[in-house]
Structure 1
Amino acid sequence: MNEHRVVKVSKYLSKHLRHQPERIGLTLDENGWVAVDALIRAAGEHGFRFTREELDHVVATNDKKRFAIRDDGPRQSALIRASQGHSVDVDLALPPAEPPAYLFHGTHPRAMTAIRAEGLRPMNRHDVHLSPDRETATRVGARRGRPVILSVDSGAMHRAGHVFRVSANGVWLTAHVPVAFLRFPNGSGEGMTGG
């Protein structure tokens, strides 16, 4: 499977497992799962054909582990879901977890005015997405050009009662990051509560 095809299938899956399942007649369950057979059939009926082998390859080789497959045995159809990033209403049923002392967020310079005023908000997603290291945050932020990397005092947030969860692909999720827990890239520590 060539890289162009991998990217095309991955983008198709993201669109329909995170944002618009109804567009191809899919209904995700409350936790975001849908039968693999139903997904392949619906995609084909809407002009985008791919095989189970192609799907398995995309899931297995995706560097960000965007998708998860659950196969409960021969009597059950295998299920697939996006690991996080949904704009449709799902509950990933991830348990609360204690985050590392610091997490990171990559963003675009145009977002900085709003972030300095409101902190990090989930925008059209369910949660704010945070990376476990600067390198990952840089890759995430670079999707829209040269990124700005923010440090999050996630340890202090956790101690203050903010809930964190971690997705299957290692992305940390929280409802909101108030300005007080952010360190901006000017090195001033503006807003940071400690550390």
Structure 2
Amino acid sequence: MENEKKPVSSKFLSLILRHRPEIVGLQLDQQGWAFVEDLISKVQKHGKQLDLEILREIVDSNNKKRFSFNKDATKIRANQGHSVKVDLAYEPKVPPPILYHGTAGRNVSSILNTGILKQIRHHVHLSESLPSAMEVGGRHGKPVVFEVLAGKMFEEGIDFFRSDNGVWLTDEVPVKFLKQID
């Protein structure tokens, strides 16, 4: 009986393209791009099933649109959320007046003391919609959502960026720009 390789999941692709490309021996360029051919080859050598069709399915069906191909689909990258050093080359943008940040209840006291910090990631992730923030916050228990006064932050010179999948990014959110939603 032949061992069948398990197809790559979105979660495994996130691990490789956002946090640990070395697991499969992959090199990301400075903007986080990997050659599709190289990714497929290295993942297959790692014992997982991956081809261009599976990769396209993961990119197209991922509900958070975490991944993007370049124009000719020869390269792929994660849109944000990296813990490895990359420069996604996003240009500063004017944010909406209010954005939202969803988190788990265990993080509330820390956030109320220090604000929202990027921790090991490159940026703090913010949502345009309350339902999206609730979904993010609910991944690790009962969600808690903070309203972020993004317009006021921008007026005070704090940069915002918008990833290819619509997530708003900034370096940190000081306490004075936060309001916990009950």
Q: What TM-score range do you get, normalising by the shorter chain?
A: over 0.9
How many residues align? The count is 177
Q: Which runs of 4+ in 1 moved over 3 A?
A: none
Q: What are the superposed Cα offsets for residues 85-126 of structure 1, whole Å, 9 maximum, x if unpaired?
A: 000000000000000000000001110111011000011101
Aligned to 1:150: 146
Q: What are the superposed Cα offsets for residues 114-141 of structure 1, whole Å, 9 maximum, x if unpaired?
A: 1011000011101000001101001111
Aligned to 2:174: 178
CA distance in 1 between partners of 2:180 and 2:65 (Å): 28
Root mean square deviation, CA, Å: 1.3
Q: What are the superposed Cα offsets for residues 42-100 of structure 1, whole Å, 9 maximum, x if unpaired?
A: 1011111212101101101111100000143xxxx700000000000000000000000
Task: Tell me the amino acid that sits aligned with residue 41 of structure 1.
Answer: S
Matched-pair contact (CA < 8 Å) for 2:145–2:181: yes
Aligned to 2:17: 17
- Are 1:90 and 2:100 counterparts? no
Q: Which runs of 5+ in 1 are unaligned?
A: 187-195
Matched-pair contact (CA < 8 Å) for 2:105–2:141: no
SS at match of 1:94: coil
TM-score (norm 2): 0.94
CA distance in 2 between partners of 1:14 and 1:48 (Å): 15
- Are 1:34 and 2:38 counterparts? no
Q: Matches of residues 159-170 of structure 1 in structure 2 within 5 Å?
A: 159-170=155-166
Identity across aligned pairs (percent)?
46
CA distance in 1 between partners of 2:46 and 2:55 (Å): 16
